[in-house]
Structure formats: structure tokens, C-alpha cells
Amino acid sequence: MILTVTLNTALDLTYRVPALTPHATHRVTQVIERPGGKGLNVARVLAALGHETVATGFAGGATGAMLRDLLAATPVRDELVATAGPTRRTVAVVDTTTGDTTQLNEPGPAITPAEWAGFRTRFTELLDGARAVALCGSLPPGIHVGAYAELIRLARAAAVPVLLDTSGEPLRRGIAARPDLVKPNADELAQLTGSREPHRATRDARRRGAHAVISSLGPEGLLAATPEGLWRAAPPAPVKGNPTGAGDSAVAGLLSGLVDEAPWPERLTRAVALSAATVLSPVAGEYDPSAYEELLPRVKVTEDSVSP
């Protein structure tokens, strides 16, 4: 099975409005509720691809209970750890005229030392039988910035490949713990390395400890620095829609390729096709299956001549 970790889960609310205008009252035409947070988005996509998937992290309060009810309706196995504080909400307002999305993210509940200790114990237990683990998203209040580095070391001790998808100081600390993959976007890479030149920043991030670095270049696709070489992967044409969750779907594609022992070009092809198919879906954590199948043979993957 594939294990995903979402320490800062969320109840995702998507509001669709005909047009989003500042300082105006809006009539919402559709409300969609989903279990959210980056790792849960990844888990739902992996499950839709047919992988046995287990989700852990934290959930609490009335919003946490609602999240778990929604998660129970999916193939993802719920191994979330209860907290006293309520799970946060995230609100995405989609302007259906332009396709633009405005995101509002609450900070999340404060996690106590006892709750963190309980999670570490459950995480260690779940590593037994895991083929890969994904550590995704922000840290809620109360958890130290080295938390992901701590979990990476536990996964490495259990010989379980680990993918890290976070930002800021948790990314800086985590990458030094030598994860198998990291997937930052261009802004996260620039914050980590001080460079906005994709090749330089991706190679620098890999030298900091990651086995492979897959940099998200937005509509231009992915740049991957791996032990086998440097690769670029891009969709056949720009896609318009809701980008929320597109990066999480890319993570799911990379994990799917990892556990299937696919070569790097195939892993990147899955990641780019899933990401683009998610942009075409109105809800984070979901993708358009027909678009995915149509995009798969059309993703452009090239090996770069620059040494990683």
C-alpha cells in the first residue's frame, strides 16, 4: 500500500460563482465539500488509479468528523489521529466566467506534544507494509519545523521510499534528511536555493540531500533532476481551468510510477497528464479520467543535456 501523511488536514469547500467581484455580495451557484489537505488529495487520486492507499495525519472537532465521513465514502483507508482542536477549513471560490480561483486557508488546530507523540507511534506502525510514503503540506501550529525530517528518518530506517512535498523551513530541514523525492514549485525552490533559474535551482536542491528533485514549472510541466539524468516533461498545450490540487495529482503520478518501478520518463508522463487532467476538473483532488487517458500519449518528455 501507499501511505500519505497530511498533518494539516482540511475540510475543503468549493464555492462556484458567476463572477467574483471585490466588495460585492455573491450568489453561490454550487457548493462542493471534500476531505482536503495535500496528502488527502494525493490519496484520493492514487485510489482512483487503483492503488491501495492509506491516509494518516490529524483530524478533530466537528469539521474533522465531517472530513472523516466524506473520506469514508472513498476507497482511501482512514488512519487519521484524533486531536482536541478542530480541523481547519479551506475555501476555494471559483469564478465560472474566467475560471480563476481564489483560495482562503485557515491555519489549523494547535497540536499538543501528546498528540504528536501518538501520531509518531501510529506512523511507525503504518510503515510496516508501506511501499512508499508521501509527506505533504503545511505543518499545523504546535509541531516543530523539523517534523518532516523526523518522519523521513523513520521511513528511511524502515526502508520505505519517501516523497516530501512542503515548503519553507520544513522543506529545508526535510531535504537535509535525504528523502527519495522532493516536489517543490518554482517559488518554493527559489526560497530554498535563492535562484529562479530552473536548472540551477533544481540541481542545487538535489545537492542539499534529496535523491531526486522534481520541480513544478506550472503550465510548462516538470523539470526532474534524478540519478539517471535531467528530464523535462510538458503537456502538449496549456490547459485552462481550476489549478487547485494539480500539484497533488502530480505527486500521485510520481508515487504511482515509483511503486510500479516505471522508468523516469513514464513517471513524469503520468505526473504531467494527471496534473493537467486535474486542472480540467472543478474540484481539488479529482481528475478528469478521459482527459488523463487522452493526455498520456501526448505528454512531451525530453532528456536535458545539462548534467544533474
Q: Cα–Cα distance between 39 and 76 in angstroms, integer?
A: 11
Catalytic residue among 12, 165, 180, 248: 248
**How many helices and strands in the chain, by DSSP H and E?**
10, 14
Q: Is 288 a catalytic residue?
A: no
Structural contact between residues 162 and 132, judged by C-beta atoms closer than 8 angstroms:
yes
Ranges assigned E (strand) in the chain: 2-6, 10-17, 30-36, 53-60, 77-83, 88-95, 101-105, 132-136, 162-165, 181-182, 212-216, 222-226, 229-234, 300-304
Q: How far apart are the first and last CA of the chain?
A: 31
Task: Return the SS3 of 206.
Answer: helix
Q: Cα–Cα distance between 136 and 182 in angstroms, integer?
A: 10
Active-site positions read 248
